[in-house]
Amino acid sequence: MGCKKTSIGGQALIEGIMMRGPKRDVMAVRTKDGSIDVREMSLKGIRNKNKLFKLPIIRGVVGFIDSMMIGYKAMMQSADISGYLDEEDEAPKGDSKTVMGVIMVVATVIAVILSVGLFIYLPSLAFKGVNILLGGVLSPLQSLFEGILKITIFLCYMIAVSYMKDIKRVFQYHGAEHKTIFCYEAGLELTVENVRGQKRFHPRCGTSFMILMLIVSIFVTFILDAIVPWLKGVLWLRTIIKLLLIPIICGIGYELIKICGKHDNAITRIIAAPGLFIQRITVKEPDDAMIEVAIAAMSEVIEPEENNDCTAGA
């Protein structure tokens, strides 16, 4: 029985899973008749268009944009293949579109909100109001206050949508994806029984990436405030500068996720801990039918030359 570390990653879709391998991207979706539709995807990203896009930090930003673009397209394709939005559905067409919109939000809105300032301007504004009410005693803790508020907003949103039936199924497919990757990395045959027994929390998860970005933003903002303390009093300018720092925060978060996927030691376990904990919201236990879909996708992206060295990185 071997042991592997793989670069293969995936994304939960509507009644399906996308696996992205070294050379192929494959989608497997459960159709209405119960069969599994497996197809290679022709979605092109921007990651390989320029060598600069593979440099540290920069590759994190490019990879994030790539994942958002390709993930959205894959989600829409899976909705079509699964028949989720068929006119014959019992649910009114308008309701289906509403639920579909919410599912799209789960995959994309956090990044959009980050980019337009809800996770930047609102916490700063809230801090200003609270600090005034308390007579300015919180001034040294501005970065921490804003960071905790960002994380709180994120968690409340994810908890709220996790109670929706359709999104819960997406989160279950998320669990099937993680378990299947763990099974392959353990060197086990990809069977439902073997996959079922694996862990469902993976250090290279997108949820962990989002949490790491929020945590990294606390430290980056703290450094910014220490270097340019007068910015604290200029809310609009501070907001603009923090927006401009998003690519750096994203890049650092990516590098940390990459390190956690490659190494297992005390430091990486501490870094990965917040994300692994939050995955209890976004990664649910799958049923056997979902595991079958994950196996179907995974089997198509495995390459013979995949590294069997346990120290190899994602």
| Rounded distance between C-alpha atoms, residue 13 and residue 78, angstroms | 6
* pLDDT on residue 2: 52
| Rounded distance between C-alpha atoms, residue 119 and residue 113, angstroms | 7
Each residue of 69-78: pLDDT tens digit?
Answer: 787 788 888 8
Residue 62 has pLDDT above 90, yes or no: no
Of 48-57, 59-68, 112-121, 202-211, least confident by mean pLDDT is 112-121
**Phi, psi angles (nearest 5°) of residue 77:** -65, -40
Could you give the C-alpha distances from 130 to 125, 127, 135, in angstroms and in order?
A: 9, 5, 9
Could you give the C-alpha distances from 289 to 31, 84, 280, 282, 300, in angstroms and in order?
A: 12, 17, 21, 19, 18
Domain ranges of the chain: 9-301
Residue 96 has pLDDT above 80, yes or no: no
Q: What pTM, to 2 d.p., does this model score? A: 0.79
Residue 250 has pLDDT above 90, yes or no: no
* pLDDT on residue 116: 58
- DSSP class of 26: E
| Rounded distance between C-alpha atoms, residue 109 and residue 144, angstroms | 23
203-233 as b/e: b if 16+ CB within 10 A: bbbbbbbbbbbbbbbbebbbebbeeeeebbe
Please, are residues 124 and 239 in contact by the beta-carbon 8 Å criterion?
yes
Residue 103 has pLDDT above 70, yes or no: no
In the predicted model, what is the mean pLDDT of residues 32-61?
A: 78
| Rounded distance between C-alpha atoms, residue 85 and residue 250, angstroms | 34
In the predicted model, what is the mean pLDDT of residues 205-218?
A: 88
Which one, of 202, 192, 199, lies nearest residue 287 by Cα? 192
In the predicted model, what is the mean pLDDT of residues 40-52?
A: 71
Work out the pLDDT band at 262, boundaries 50, 70, 90.
confident
> Angle, to 10 degrees, between the axis of helix 165-185 and the axis of helix 266-282?
150
Each residue of 128-162: pLDDT tens digit?
Answer: 889 899 988 888 888 899 889 889 888 888 898 88
Arithmetic mean of pLDDT over the chain: 81
Task: Return the sign of the alpha-carbon dihedral for residues 223, 225, 231, 236.
Answer: positive
Which one, of 6, 11, 70, 76, lies nearest residue 294 by Cα? 11
Of 147-156, 219-228, 236-245, least confident by mean pLDDT is 236-245
How many CA atoms does the CB half-sphere of 144 hold within 13 Å?
5
Residue 95 has pLDDT above 80, yes or no: no
Amino acid in the structure at residue 91: A
Helical H runs in the chain?
58-82, 93-116, 121-133, 142-162, 165-185, 192-196, 206-227, 235-244, 246-262, 266-282, 288-301
Helix (H, G, I), strand (E, B) or coil at 196: helix
